[in-house]
Structure 1
Amino acid sequence: MSDLYYDPYDVEIDRDPYPIYRRLRDEAPLYYNERHDFWGLSRFADVDAALKDVARLSSAKGDILEVVKADPVMPPGVFINEDPPRHTVHRALVARAFTPRRMRMVEEKVRAFCVACLDPLTGSDRFDFVADLGNELPMRAIGMLVGIPDAEQPKVRDHAQRSLRNQPGEPLPVDKDHYFDGDMYADYVAWRERNPSDDLITELLALEFEDVDGTVRRLSKDEILTFLAVIAGAGVETTGRLFGWMGKVLAEHPGQRRELAEDRSLIPNAIEELLRYEPPGPHVARYVAEDVRYHGTTVPAGSAMLLMVASANRDERRFEDPDRFDIHRAIGTHVTFGHGAHYCLGAALARMEGRVALDEVLNRFPEWEIDLAGARRSPTTTVRGWDAMPAIIARG
């Protein structure tokens, strides 16, 4: 009897899941957890292929394990929980928020916001990668893109965080009948109707599109509200966790951090390596729409499948010496943002936020150590990271 056990809700496993991931890849590349009734894939090739297999591995019932198993009522417009062709139509509408032009426009504002956050801390002996940056910047960036007033953005962040928090060791509670609630965005949409601007809400209110049945129509208010709930929820919490890992991992690799301080052209690849090494979203789930075979075993239709992104990113079959953090690594591709039809729409935004933030941190604090005793993990299995990552600033 194998003693190999993986449980995404186990707090002790989650502290350092990589040894168990390695055993899963070697001993049980298709894993079944009887207690929570889900299957799991851990190797890069399997996860990569599964992410692209939208016919047999469906997103229509959610992409979080607890959601897939609860099979909640999905309102129209939850594009991350749709399959083609409906997903293709809805995704194209939301993609308007993430054009290169909008990314350039937002980058200037993101840098200005970083400066405003960090300048008051210059000369101090501490700052917190999460409290001072991770909790603030992603929320502001999404607000800038979407068109949510500055004063209202903390509400969006707090709502996104609450919706993904679970009790230690327990699955996330899912309200089957009211899983997605976009009502909190109704006032912003009404405000933008009266005050149009260059943002996504204004654009969604005005556009006409051809739906899957060939009819040309405008989006309903409910669809717009759902779009906003999806974008804000996905963009705020995951990107926010990236900043905690940035502080911790670069403190653990001071030589590489000094290289970054001296040569800022290395920063984009460093962010890419950080995303591979400690992905804020460690796994995504799919509903098995029809029988599918992996490693000689049939996974029956109706099952829940967990795609272990963090394990795939450390697969020695794909990456040389994968447990080594290396800002010079020729990464190729990782699966932190997914692959195929459901590739993360906000990937460019997350990369830009990380790149700009690290640049501005190094401008002021090229040397730091982490106060691990003061660090605090996030109580969520959906997103892996920290609620606090305090840094002690070294003075030259």
Structure 2
Amino acid sequence: MTGSHTELTGENLYRDPYPVYSRLRSEQPVAFFEGTKEYFITRFDDCRTVGGNDKVFGPSGSTDRPEARVMGMPNVLTMSGEDHQCLREGIDQNLTQERVRSFVEGLTRPVVQRYIDSIKKNGEANLTVELFEPISVRCIGDVIGLTETPNETLVEWFHAMALGLQNVSNDAAIWKRLDDALAEIDRQMGDLYQACLTKPNNSLLSHVMYGGMQKGEVRSWEEISPTMRVIILGGLQEPGHAAANACAGLLSSSDQAKIMAEQPQENAMRAFDEGLRWIAPIGVTPRVAREDFEIAGTVIPQGASVAIVMGSANRDATRFEDADKFDMFRKKKQHLSFGFRPHFCSGHFLSRAMGEIALAEVFRQLPELRLDPSREMKGKGWRFRGISDLPAKWNA
């Protein structure tokens, strides 16, 4: 069976994890992956069981995990209890549905317009690289407070961090690229931190510094640095990849693309949400077992690392009919792409609202939008997965 594209290897996962997941769900729903030394949970119901059991499966604060190397510890994903709640208060303050509604149009629409205008006359583009990624990093960069940091830098940061998290083969060049990015993040964010100490503002960084604290108190840079890295990695890439994945799904089905072009506003949110299910931008969330726990006939030993594979759960045929197919009109059922409480993604309202605007405008303003048959559509990654090459044409 070696060499098969369904075998559980880092290379197969990075190229296309779905055949691997499909095989695991049917043959070995709880599988130990040597590459990251963790148990993969791949079926929908089992993922929900583990994700919903915070007492047994708490966040993983293990220092030998790739997250520790990339983000540092402790961060918002590794914390629990009161500390976690207090920090989340700061993060979530400006990301409630009501707050997002108040600023998302002014934040997103001008940026979307700028990037559509920059490619419109060309009649073709890689929509991920030339449109969805830049929109995402610019908007989220501005929300974080990185208004002066150029897009190219922000894109490099999340690519370097995402590669670091998936560096199963321990490639030295990938660690070097990561360390360079982290040094630059610390330098720029450290400067912004100092500025917010002098004068708090409405940036996400400022909210994380002061939110949930007693009056007159502020979190130290050391305390929030790992969490800011989590926000930079998840925030910069997730809305862009989610929109690109949804767009790829739409363009792969000429019927759905046509409906989307005729009624973009009515269908954008539906399409965006199905894109999140079809290809989860963040495919895995780590946990650690606090005691022995039996699931799907396998005992996970106390202290073991566990990966809840949302990317696999979202393709489980027992939950979603014809699960490998993109269908924005499928019966609405909750997917797992935003994770589980209490660690449910803080940015889910913002991501959805941005994605809805971007998708609707792209289909409204680029007539006869379609895949470019002369170039290949490509996706990559498994912890983070996106359609990296989305070659499209339209009538300019």
Quick check: TM above 0.5?
yes
Tell me, in whole angstroms, the C-alpha distance in 2 between the residues paired with 1:329 and 1:194: 51
**Correspondence 1:274-353 to 2 at 5 A:** 274-353=275-354
Q: Residues 91, 362 of structure 1: CA spacing in aligned structure 2 closer, same or farther, 3 A cutoff?
A: same
In the alignment, structure 1 residue 183 sits paired with structure 2 residue 190: no
Cα deviation digits, residues 51-84 of structure 1 (max 9, x gap): 1222222223269x9426x7899444x1112122
Q: Residues 366, 287 of structure 1: CA spacing in aligned structure 2 closer, same or farther, 3 A cutoff?
A: farther
Equivalence for 1:113:
111
Aligned-CA RMSD value: 3.3
Deviation, 1:259, is 1.0
**Correspondence 1:68-87 to 2 at 5 A:** 74-76=72-74, 78-87=75-84
Equivalence for 2:91:
94
Tell me, in whole angstroms, the C-alpha distance in 1 between the residues paired with 2:61 and 2:373: 38
Equivalence for 1:57:
57
Q: Is the CA contact (8 Å cut-off) linking 1:41 and 1:307 kept in structure 2?
A: yes
**Correspondence 1:199-278 to 2 at 5 A:** 199-207=203-211, 209=213, 217-263=217-263, 264-278=265-279
Q: Is the CA contact (8 Å cut-off) linking 1:247 and 1:391 kept in structure 2?
A: no
Equivalence for 1:44:
44
Deviation, 1:292, is 1.1
**Segment drifting more, 164-173 vs 302-311:** 164-173
Q: Gaps (5+ residues) in structure 2? A: none
Q: Is the CA contact (8 Å cut-off) linking 1:371 and 1:392 kept in structure 2?
A: yes
- Secondary structure of the 1:218 match is coil
- Secondary structure of the 2:40 match is strand
Q: Is the CA contact (8 Å cut-off) linking 2:14 and 2:381 kept in structure 1?
A: no
**Correspondence 1:356-371 to 2 at 5 A:** 356-371=357-372
Q: Residues 239, 62 of structure 1: CA spacing in aligned structure 2 closer, same or farther, 3 A cutoff?
A: farther
Q: Residues 129, 243 of structure 1: CA spacing in aligned structure 2 closer, same or farther, 3 A cutoff?
A: farther
Tell me, in whole angstroms, the C-alpha distance in 1 between the residues paired with 2:72 and 2:200: 29
Deviation, 1:204, is 4.2
Q: Residues 46, 59 of structure 1: CA spacing in aligned structure 2 closer, same or farther, 3 A cutoff?
A: same
Tell me, in whole angstroms, the C-alpha distance in 1 between the residues paired with 2:381 and 2:228: 22
Deviation, 1:317, is 1.4
Deviation, 1:146, is 2.2
Q: Residues 17, 152 of structure 1: CA spacing in aligned structure 2 closer, same or farther, 3 A cutoff?
A: closer
Equivalence for 1:162:
160
Q: Is the CA contact (8 Å cut-off) linking 2:292 and 2:299 kept in structure 1?
A: yes
Amino acid at match of 1:250: L
Deviation, 1:282, is 2.1
Amino acid at match of 1:159: W
Deviation, 1:131, is 1.7
**Segment drifting more, 17-26 vs 345-354:** 17-26
**Segment drifting more, 117-126 vs 181-190:** 181-190
Q: Residues 328, 171 of structure 1: CA spacing in aligned structure 2 closer, same or farther, 3 A cutoff?
A: farther
Q: Under a length normalisation based on structure 2, what TM-score does the superposition of the two structures give?
A: 0.85
Amino acid at match of 2:160: R
Tell me, in whole angstroms, the C-alpha distance in 2 between the residues paired with 1:192 and 1:117: 30
- Secondary structure of the 1:391 match is strand
Amino acid at match of 1:183: D
Tell me, in whole angstroms, the C-alpha distance in 2 between the residues paired with 1:174 and 1:139: 22
Q: Residues 279, 9 of structure 1: CA spacing in aligned structure 2 closer, same or farther, 3 A cutoff?
A: same
Equivalence for 1:139:
137
Tell me, in whole angstroms, the C-alpha distance in 2 between the residues paired with 1:72 and 1:119: 36
- Secondary structure of the 1:340 match is coil
Cα deviation digits, residues 21-62 of structure 1 (max 9, x gap): 223222222223356543211111111121122222222326
Q: Is the CA contact (8 Å cut-off) linking 1:376 and 1:389 kept in structure 2?
A: yes
Cα deviation digits, residues 349-368 of structure 1 (max 9, x gap): 21112111111101211423
Q: How many residues end up aligned between the 2 structures?
A: 385
Q: Gaps (5+ residues) in structure 1? A: none
Cα deviation digits, residues 145-192 of structure 1 (max 9, x gap): 2222234554333222212215887367779xx998762301122234
Seq. identity, %: 24
Equivalence for 1:126:
124
Deviation, 1:244, is 3.1
Q: Under a length normalisation based on structure 1, what TM-score does the superposition of the two structures give?
A: 0.85
Tell me, in whole angstroms, the C-alpha distance in 2 between the residues paired with 1:56 and 1:17: 27
Tell me, in whole angstroms, the C-alpha distance in 2 between the residues paired with 1:300 and 1:106: 45
Deviation, 1:95, is 0.8
Q: Residues 123, 35 of structure 1: CA spacing in aligned structure 2 closer, same or farther, 3 A cutoff?
A: closer
Deviation, 1:252, is 0.8
- Secondary structure of the 1:307 match is strand
Tell me, in whole angstroms, the C-alpha distance in 2 between the residues paired with 1:140 and 1:296: 46
